[in-house]
Amino acid sequence: MDENSQGRPVKIAVPASGRTLDARVENKMGAAPYVLIIDPNDMSFEILARSPHSLGSGAGIETVSRALDKGATVILVGYMSPTVSSPLEKAGITVVISVGGSVHDAVLSYMRGKFTPTETRESDPKPAVSARQIRDWRTVLRKTVKQFTAILPVLCGVILLAGLFKAMLPKKLLLALFSGNVLQDTFVGAVIGSLLSGNPINSYVTGAILLDLDVSFFGVTAMLLTWVTVWLVQLPVEMSVLGVRFTLIRNIAAFIVAIPATLCIVWLSGGIM
């Protein structure tokens, strides 16, 4: 008969999804419907059904206690908390985690020594970084660099756009276009936004510059709305993809809706004051 390091006969406790050796190894002792107590010498086993009262945080400890009462000296399981596995191992109970597959295959693998020591202990307060964690960090770093590289041209364009607006649009011209009349400023802003095309981030920079040059909230708000909804420059592309009728109706509707939407937005935000 096989014996462990303390000279006791080996009996292996495995949480299982069913009542046979072909059942799947469950991840946790307390959540498993059954625990099989197996004698590896002849693969005979005893079945422990989950107690109807073994619920909540103490279910795992209760199930482990029942398995130990049946003489289990080895526990094969998907996961066990270090606070539970560490005292068990100090008491001479072998705990093997990260176990999957069928109960039969798990027992055979254990008896053949296929489980390494690193799979049997999780109680180290400073566990080493796993290879998977390293791969995850590398993946995150690559994605971060890729996203930053993609947005860098946009940031550069925003900086250049700010300079161009201040250099190419004299304040007198802007004040001629945006006279301070609510309806005129709203309409002019909507037209300018419809003609411009670019990343939405650029619209925020442009809006801030126009506000600094004393353009009204109505003109800036209308421009922001149509900038991201009306794309006159991109009409040919949109027509080729979505059709002429849809494209024209969508852009015209977006332009018309932008007018009352601007009035409501500025009024509700207090910009009219």
Q: What angle do CA 120, 125, 128 make, to 5 degrees?
A: 70
Mean pLDDT of 259-265: 91
Q: What is the pTM of this model?
A: 0.43
Q: What is the pLDDT of residue 121?
A: 47
> Phi and psi at residue 219, in whole multiples of 5°?
-65, -45
Q: Tell me how far apart the alpha carbons of residues 253 and 222 are, in angstroms, rounded to a whole number.
A: 14
Q: Tell me how far apart the alpha carbons of residues 33 and 23 are, in angstroms, rounded to a whole number.
A: 11
Between 11 and 192, whose confidence is greater? 11
How many Cα atoms sit within 13 Å of 36 on the Cβ side? 25
Q: Tell me how far apart the alpha carbons of residues 194 and 226 are, in angstroms, rounded to a whole number.
A: 5
Please determine, for residue 169, whether its predicted confidence score (pLDDT) is greater than 50: yes
Q: What is the pLDDT of residue 122?
A: 45
Q: Tell which residue, 193, 256, 262, 253, has the closest CA to residue 228.
A: 193
Give the tens place of pLDDT for each residue, 79-121. Answer: 888 888 888 888 888 999 889 899 999 999 888 888 754 444 4
Tell me the β-bridge partners of 25.
16
How many Cα atoms sit within 13 Å of 211 on the Cβ side? 14
Q: What is the pLDDT of residue 126?
A: 46
Residue 24 binned pLDDT confidence (cut-offs 50, 70, 90): very high
Q: What is the overall mean pLDDT for the chain?
A: 78
Residue 143 binned pLDDT confidence (cut-offs 50, 70, 90): confident
Please determine, for residue 54, whether its predicted confidence score (pLDDT) is greater than 80: no
**Structure token digits, residue 217:** 């909230």
Tell me the CA distances in angstroms from 103 to 38, 40, 89, 113, one per residue in order. 10, 11, 21, 16
Q: What is the pLDDT of residue 145?
A: 80
Q: Tell which residue, 99, 96, 16, has the closest CA to residue 50.
A: 16
Helices and strands (H, E) in the chain, number of each type: 10, 5
Which of 8-17, 166-175, 199-208 has the highest mean predicted lDDT (pLDDT)?
A: 8-17
Q: What is the pLDDT of residue 163?
A: 57
SS3 content of the chain, % helix, strand, coil (to 5): 55, 10, 35
Residue 56 binned pLDDT confidence (cut-offs 50, 70, 90): low
Give the tens place of pLDDT for each residue, 194-233. Answer: 887 666 666 777 777 777 777 788 888 888 888 888 877 7
Yes or no: say if 92 and 25 are a contact pair by the CB < 8 Å rule. no
Between 51 and 247, whose confidence is greater? 247
Residue 51 binned pLDDT confidence (cut-offs 50, 70, 90): confident
